[in-house]
Every structure is written in C-alpha cells, then in structure tokens.
Homo-oligomer: A and B are copies of this chain.
Amino acid sequence: MGRVTRKVEILHAASKIVSEKGIFNLTLEATAAEAGVSKGGLLYHFPSKEALVQGMVEHLAENYREKIATSAHESQLEKGKWITSYVDVTFNNPYKKTDMNSGLLAAKAVNEELLNPIRDLYMEWQMAIENDGIDPVKATIIRLATDGIWLNELFDLNQLTDEKKGAIYKKLISWASE
C-alpha cells in the first residue's frame, strides 16, 4: 500500500533544504535527492512544485493544530487554557519549528494562497483565545508576543538568551491565567 511515510519523508527533505540552503535551492531534483527518491518518484507523489509546497503547508498546519488542541484539552486550567497552550507549544516547540518556518517562506515565495490553511488556523485560535475567560486584548497581546519570538527566530534577528526568554515565558504564562 505504499508506505505513507514516503510522502512525509519528502516533505521533511523539502523543509530541510529551505531552512539550510534557502528557497532558491528548493528544486525538485534537490528535494528528490535529499529524500532519496528519484525525480520521477517525487513527481508521482507531488505532481508539481506547487503541490509539494502545498503539501508542506498542509502537513505542518495539521501537526500544529493537533499539538495545540491536545495541550488545551489536557489543560486543567479554567481560564486561559487556549492562550496558555499556544504559548507553551510555541515556546517549547515539541513540533519542528523549522518546518513551520520553511513552509511559510516557501508558500509565500511560490504562491500566497498556499498560506490559507495557516490563515484558517489563526482564525480558529483567535476565536478560541478571545473566548478563553480572560481579557481578550490582553490575550491577544500574549499571542502577539509569542509570534514576535517567532519572527525573531525566523530571521534570526534578536535571539534572546535562554534566561531572558525564560523570564518572558514565565510572565506571559502568569498573565494568561490572571
């Protein structure tokens, strides 16, 4: 039945190339080589470059959605469980943040519309966060600050020391249940 993992392996290979060598080096041949598949084999799974990038985005969106949802449902909190989960998952990224960054950059480069699954995710989260039992403005600021960390990592701008990052994490988490 053709192991499902093959497709995922290819997606990982694509992410790796984007994060290590940049979007201009994300070619079908390079991806195939990185994944240990022939170019024809890759095209069997993803019939075009755009389909490949679409696959990247959809895959990471599913992963991310699941991580946050699991965390929120396991939470014991009465208030702020969604925003807390968002901060938690994004800070401690148990999922691969490289995949997220690569997927975003690749989609932005190849075709804006491929970002739609991510946009849907954000809409869901924003709704959850605004009905989470805490002040929606504060909750949104907490989310934005978390996204700010992410922007800084994406472009390797101002990497905070672990100490500072820890202090920020603590403060955000404490705000999230006030």
Of residues 66 through 89 on chain A, the ones whose CB sits less than 8 Å from some CB of chain B are none
* Assembly CA distance A141 to B141 (angstroms): 9
Within 8 Å by CB of A151, from B126, B148, B172, lies B148
> Which residues from B are CB-within-8-Å of A137?
164, 167-168, 171
Say yes or no for A140: interface residue by CB 8 A criterion: yes
Closest to A23 in B: B109
Say yes or no for A48: interface residue by CB 8 A criterion: no
Count of this chain's copies in the oligomeric assembly? 2
CB distance from A58 to the nearest CB of B (A): 16
Known contacts: A118-B157, A119-B158, A157-B119. The answer to whether A109 contacts B24 by CB under 8 A is yes
* Assembly CA distance A144 to B87 (angstroms): 13
Say yes or no for A46: interface residue by CB 8 A criterion: no
Of residues 154 through 169 on chain A, the ones whose CB sits less than 8 Å from some CB of chain B are 154-158, 160, 164, 167-168
Q: Among the interface residues A22, A137, A148, which one has the most CB atoms of the partner chain B within 10 A? A: A148
Say yes or no for A28: interface residue by CB 8 A criterion: no
Say yes or no for A143: interface residue by CB 8 A criterion: yes
Known contacts: A140-B164, A144-B145. The answer to whether A157 contacts B108 by CB under 8 A is no
> Which residues from B are CB-within-8-Å of A146?
144, 148
Q: Is the CB of B155 within 8 A of A108?
A: yes
CB distance from A32 to the nearest CB of B (A): 20
* Assembly CA distance A154 to B101 (angstroms): 13
Known contacts: A22-B110, A110-B24. The answer to whether A149 contacts B157 by CB under 8 A is no
**A residues near B, CB below 8 A?**
22-24, 104-105, 108-112, 115, 118-119, 122-123, 126, 137-138, 140-141, 143-152, 154-158, 160, 164, 167-168, 171-172
